Amino acid sequence: MHCQVMFRNYQRKTDMDEPPPVNFGDGEEDKCVKRKHKDPTFVQLEEKYLRFRIKMEWLMIHRILNHSVDQKNNIHYLIKWRELLYDQGHGAPLLLLTGTPLQNNLEELFHLLNFLTPERFNKLEVFLEEFADIAKEDQIKKLHDMLGPHMLRRLKAGIFKHMPSKTELIVRVELSPMQKKYYKFILTKNFVALNTKGGGNQVSLLNVVMDLEKCYNHPYLFPGAAIEAPKMPKGMYDGKALTKASGKLLFLQKMMRKLKEGGRRVLFSSQMTKMLDLLKDFLEHEGQEAIDRFNFPGAQQFAFLLSMRAGGLGINLATADTVIIYDSDWNPHNDIQAFSRAHRIGQNEKVMIYRFVTKSSVEEKITQVTKKKRMLTHLVVQPGLRSKIGSMSKQELDDILKERLRRRLQTEERKTNQRQIRRGQNSRRKTRWSKKKRRKKRQKRWTPVLLQRTRKMWRIKML
């Protein structure tokens, strides 16, 4: 390896028996390769190296070499390097740009700090032990002092002083009869796995949770239900059956009418693209260049469908003032990025956020977990907030499913008892009614007779 000035001078020399040295790495260096050697691929370039037997000191590389590079096809691994020098003094300063420095737990934050200053943050166990109880005020202050030299935040409120407010409401909806059937079937089918010692492996439990998420969103997300579902001639699902199958869509049907009458513009967010397809059929929304037409002044469309994963792609939907989070993500920052498509600079109206949560389902636990994760983020980047934070483990996932199974079975048992009580009350009413009828029949067999002497009413049995 040589310095850059010596390398450029060496490239200009023409009295060489061997070909001039070549740079590798970024786009300019790749252009240099094609310009000097006219080789379209690295394979031909490799043949030239082997043919001319290039020496090590004639080659300089500006590239990060790591194990993620394909070692078989990369030219750098085909050369037998004798020496490899790295000058850290000429290395570029490290800078991380992110809107979510902390998403789930403190371990993620440690890895970012370790990348920036590995000499200071080099032991994960020590870091986690030091901030084990993040609810203590002294630990919060210590963490803020530690992050101060490393974090530079830009807030919307600091840039746009007249930013409209946003309000988030949790809307709890009931499961439809079809969803109850599928929900109970999923839990009872996996009852053995949920009640084994240790709760089964984590992969199987995650599969159960994923099936439950599909169930409380819409049963048509299952292949069997989708095939049996009634469809229209054009291949779309029948609107009445589609709406009746989901408790969220039943509520959404009434809600959309009110939003339309109020002149609101709606942004839907879901972590499942197949659910967006069902919502598309529900809204009778045809494919189009939706972003441009949705933001166009005076546009006819008042609803827009957005995948949760597209929230971090910089899409601007500031013309929407209502966000409906159809299903919550385990990572709360995906939800935040989704409704931030509407609540951003350029928004002139107050933003309303409606988060649908199905009662007595695993979705309620997901909401609780995401609240803890959001509180952890506030603890790290903002002072004065306190909370006990824990990360999801196999045991916690097992407890979630068992708790939801217990609550669901208790609900079904309570409803069964209520039905039995109502049947008993109805039977007692019928018994009283039948006795009353028999009494009336007996009364008809008696005839009242007025005796003039005693002025009393007597009932005389007719023979």
> Residue 105: which of 417, 412, 388 has the closest Cα?
388
- pLDDT at residue 67 greater than cutoff 50: no
- pLDDT at residue 458 greater than cutoff 80: no
Residue 228, both tokens: 């049996």
Contact 459, 447 (CB under 8 A): yes
- pLDDT at residue 435 greater than cutoff 70: no
Neighbouring C-alpha atoms within 13 Å toward the C-beta of 154: 7
DSSP state, residue 151: -
- pLDDT at residue 377 greater than cutoff 60: yes
Q: Distance between alpha carbon 323 and the CA centroid of its chain, in Å?
A: 15
Q: Please list, residue by residue across 219-256, b when 16 or more beta carbons sit within 10 angstroms of its beta carbon and e when fewer do.
A: bbbeeebeeeeeeeeeeebebeebbebbbbbebbeebb
Looking at the structure, give the CATH architecture of the domain made up of residues 165-414.
Answer: 3-Layer(aba) Sandwich (3.40)
Residue 141, both tokens: 């202050």
Residue 35 makes CB contacts below 8 A (sequence gap 6+) with none
Global pTM exceeds 0.85 = no
Contact 323, 353 (CB under 8 A): yes
Give tens-digit pLDDT for 23-46: 444 444 444 444 444 434 445 555
Give tens-digit pLDDT for 265-285: 888 888 888 898 888 888 764
Residue 15, both tokens: 């009295």
* Mean pLDDT to the nearest integer, 381-396: 48
Residue 386 makes CB contacts below 8 A (sequence gap 6+) with 135, 137, 140, 379
- Triad 202, 101, 341: Cα angle to 5°: 95
**Residue 278 Cα distances to 236, 275, 282, 413, angstroms:** 9, 5, 6, 32
Task: Give the residue with greater pLDDT, 439 vs 449.
Answer: 439
Choose the weakest-confidence range: 26-40, 96-110, 202-216, 406-420: 26-40
- Distance between CA atoms of residues 81 and 84, nearest Å: 7
pLDDT band, residue 170 (cuts 50/70/90): confident
**Helix, strand, coil % in the chain, rounded to nearest 5:** 50, 10, 40
Contact 434, 451 (CB under 8 A): no
Q: For the chain, which residues make up each domain, given as ranges?
A: 4-90, 165-414
- Distance between CA atoms of residues 346 and 334, nearest Å: 21
* Mean pLDDT to the nearest integer, 195-215: 68
> Residue 269: which of 189, 354, 330 has the closest Cα?
354
Contact 246, 217 (CB under 8 A): yes
**Residue 169 Cα distances to 354, 355, 359, angstroms:** 5, 6, 15
| Residues constituting the chain | 463
How many C-beta neighbours within 10 Å does residue 360 have?
A: 18
- Triad 319, 325, 155: Cα angle to 5°: 60
Residue 321 makes CB contacts below 8 A (sequence gap 6+) with 264, 265, 342, 347, 349, 350, 351, 352
- Annotate 2-14 with DSSP letters as a single string: --HHHHHHHHH--
